[in-house]
Amino acid sequence: MTRRYRSQDWFDNPDHIDMTALYLERFMNYGITPEELRSGKPIIGIAQSGSDISPCNRIHLDLAKRVRDGIRDAGGIPMEFPLHPIFENCRRPTAAIDRNLAYMGLVEILHGYPIDAVVLTTGCDKTTPSQLMAAATVDIPAIVLSGGPMLDGWLDGELVGSGAAIWKGRRRLAAGEIDNEKFLEIAAASAPSAGHCNTMGTASTMNAIAEALGMSLTGCSAIPAPYRERGQMAYETGRRIVALAEQDIRPSAILTRDAFLDAIVTNAAIGGSTNAQQHIMAMARHAGVEIHTEDWMKYGHDVPLLLNMQPSGKYLGERFHRAGGVPAVMWELEQKGKLRSQRLTVTGKTMAENLAGRETNDREMIWPFDAPLKEKAGFFVLSGNLFDFAIMKTSVISEDFRQRYLKQPGHEGVFECRAIVFDGSDDYHKRINDPSLNIDENCILVIRGAGPIGWPGSAEVVNMQPPDALIKRGINNLPTLGDGRQSGTSDSPSILNASPESAVGGGLAWIRTGDTIRIDLNNGTANMLVDDAEIERRKADGIPPVPPSQTPWQEIYRSTVGQMQSGACMELALEYRNVGAVLPRH
């Protein structure tokens, strides 16, 4: 089947032969011929997310060779180009500020160059949503190739998961159980090979979600980066994108409301990262799909935890892959009618067809829907006078935490705490061990100035560790709350992503240390017990200041970003859709 591709407007345009000549000549620099470019075959972009400064995705530098093989074998012409790097652990002030930048850069490339379809190479946290957001905006055929998680980490005969090992290690450091050197040894052990985080952190979550949406081949996301199946998947993905180009199957046919609701359901069943909330919202909005705040509770909250993977469970990525990966989890959901699986995916088949026969043979890793690891594992949505919206990840609430805060006789699901308020993480680190704060188990740690505009970029800082003295007494978690995020690998039952944030005058701006906060999980509320007149009086003090922008992008980001409740999108970008259909002028 042949059709005229958008690239032919560059390479085969008799009305603009001078421009065509100009467009063609430089590609010969690396041995490509004008005949190839004018053959009418689709030009397939490979958005390369790997580089030396994005090590989680670096495997894609190798995988791209197999993607190219697949594209060539299926009759396409590959063209690889770089994506703005995003490295979660190293990018300061936070990698979150890069998601919208990589999004915007990819939109410009896909729109402005002769590219007919694209392979999105995903891995580290925001590399997945940024590219899917761009694919949704441009709406040319697109497919996700995950880089895959690292091999499982081991130390002293125990599994150590990336990220999760850091949060556990810093508690042990504070308790005086280990020294700095041991801490670094644990960190190194948790990351034993190429690949992204081997826990169900944000990286594995977002790759699982890409698969649940129907944007990658079946079983793609969980294959560990070094496994042979990963290279084979790269080849098959290269082959498949050519067929998608030929058939003009575009993201708009796949990224439907049904697909996003299934993503919400799947995210709960895998114990996915809280970062999924803003990324799912952002991808949906760029796809023109309405996902409402209520959808998280309505479709997600009742879903049980099925996957026994850190941080909600025990194991890591290799076992997840062997147990069948995302299709095996979705198979459980499908059997119980929890999915809307009669919908198209990049395989060209429906999700239901993709899932057929995918039952797991490892019941220690993927538990049955009727006898799950935990009931009601989806995000819990809260609101009140502190914020209009925040979420809590219930799948990580420990039994100890549950007993201490949520099971008080006569007050099931309700607790009141004294607020200790920090303005950003420097303030937290400076004062958390200050004895004059008298922090005890009746306190809730509050952080503000950590949202998209305040930080800028929304930082993973809400999972604040209690003071060392408390940890030494065995209290590993206090309730925490904030307008920032937390790492997907954290096991803290924090109240996160509070919107609107303090920096734009959200309720968190007006709370003071010593105020009482009442959390009511029965009614989904979180309030400071401060009367309205007093809150009005405090407004005269002004919004707590945030640091100035340090780069031009920080300033642009701040002036264009929305709140986390609605995906922290570049709001003005939402006006643009199906950008690939409108050719740029010569």
Q: Which residues contact ligand FES (rule: CB under 6 A)?
A: 56, 88-89, 124-125, 162, 196-197, 201, 203
- DSSP code, position 465: P
- Nearest partner of 568 among 519, 481, 504, 495, judged by Cα: 504
Which stretches within 485-541 are classed as H helix? 532-539
Which one, 60 or 240, has the nearer CB to ligand FES? 60
C-alpha distances in Å from residue 544, one per residue of 97, 164, 429, 495: 21, 32, 18, 20
C-alpha 113: how far from its chain's center? Answer: 28
Interacting positions 107-166 with Mg ion (CB under 5 A): 125
Q: Quick one: what does residue 487 bind among ligand FES, Mg ion, none, with the CB cut-off 5 to 8 Å set by partner type? A: Mg ion
Which one, 190 or 563, has the nearer CB to ligand FES? 190
Q: Quick one: what does residue 250 bind among ligand FES, Mg ion, none, with the CB cut-off 5 to 8 Å set by partner type? A: none
Q: What is the DSSP string of 393-447?
A: EGGG--HHHIIIII--TT-TTEEEEEEEEEEHHHHHHHHTT-GGG---TTEEEEE
Alpha-carbon dihedral sign for residues 277, 280, 285, 288: negative
Which one, 196 or 250, has the nearer CB to ligand FES? 196
- 394/103 Cα distance (integer angstroms): 30
- 260/215 Cα distance (integer angstroms): 11
Q: Tell me: does residue 54 bind Mg ion (CB under 5 A).
A: no
Q: Tell me: does residue 221 bind Mg ion (CB under 5 A).
A: no
**Residue 110 Cβ vs Mg ion, minimum distance, rounded to whole Å:** 26
Residue span binding Mg ion (CB under 5 A) among the ranges 115-123, 199-207, 304-312, 359-367:
199-207
- For the chain, how are helix, strand and coil distributed in percent, rounded to 5? 40, 15, 45
Q: Quick one: what does residue 203 bind among Mg ion, ligand FES, none, with the CB cut-off 5 to 8 Å set by partner type? A: ligand FES
Q: Tell me: does residue 487 bind Mg ion (CB under 5 A).
A: yes
- Nearest partner of 437 among 469, 414, 411, judged by Cα: 469
**Residue 124 Cβ vs ligand FES, minimum distance, rounded to whole Å:** 3
Q: Quick one: what does residue 497 bind among ligand FES, Mg ion, none, with the CB cut-off 5 to 8 Å set by partner type? A: none
Query: Residue 28: CB partners within 8 Å, gap ≥ 6?
Result: 34
Q: Tell me: does residue 202 bind Mg ion (CB under 5 A).
A: yes
**Residue 205 Cβ vs Mg ion, minimum distance, rounded to whole Å:** 10
Beta bridge partners of 529: none
Which one, 6 or 126, has the nearer CB to ligand FES? 126
Q: Quick one: what does residue 168 bind among ligand FES, Mg ion, none, with the CB cut-off 5 to 8 Å set by partner type? A: none
Which one, 6 or 485, has the nearer CB to Mg ion? 485
Which one, 7 or 490, has the nearer CB to Mg ion? 490
Which one, 37 or 208, has the nearer CB to ligand FES? 208
Which one, 195 or 219, has the nearer CB to ligand FES? 195
Q: Quick one: what does residue 89 bind among ligand FES, Mg ion, none, with the CB cut-off 5 to 8 Å set by partner type? A: ligand FES
Query: Residue 532: CB partners within 8 Å, gap ≥ 6?
Result: none
- 198/204 Cα distance (integer angstroms): 7
Which residue shows structure tokens 């002004």?
542
Q: Quick one: what does residue 56 bind among ligand FES, Mg ion, none, with the CB cut-off 5 to 8 Å set by partner type? A: ligand FES
**Residue 123 Cβ vs Mg ion, minimum distance, rounded to whole Å:** 12
Q: Are 83 and 131 in contact (CB under 8 A)?
A: yes
Q: Tell me: does residue 98 bind Mg ion (CB under 5 A).
A: no
Interface with Mg ion: number of residues (CB under 5 A): 4
- 467/443 Cα distance (integer angstroms): 11
**Residue 487 Cβ vs Mg ion, minimum distance, rounded to whole Å:** 4
Length of the chain: 586
Q: Quick one: what does residue 442 bind among ligand FES, Mg ion, none, with the CB cut-off 5 to 8 Å set by partner type? A: none
Q: Tell me: does residue 88 bind Mg ion (CB under 5 A).
A: yes
Which residues of this protein are in contact with Mg ion, per CB under 5 A? 88, 125, 202, 487
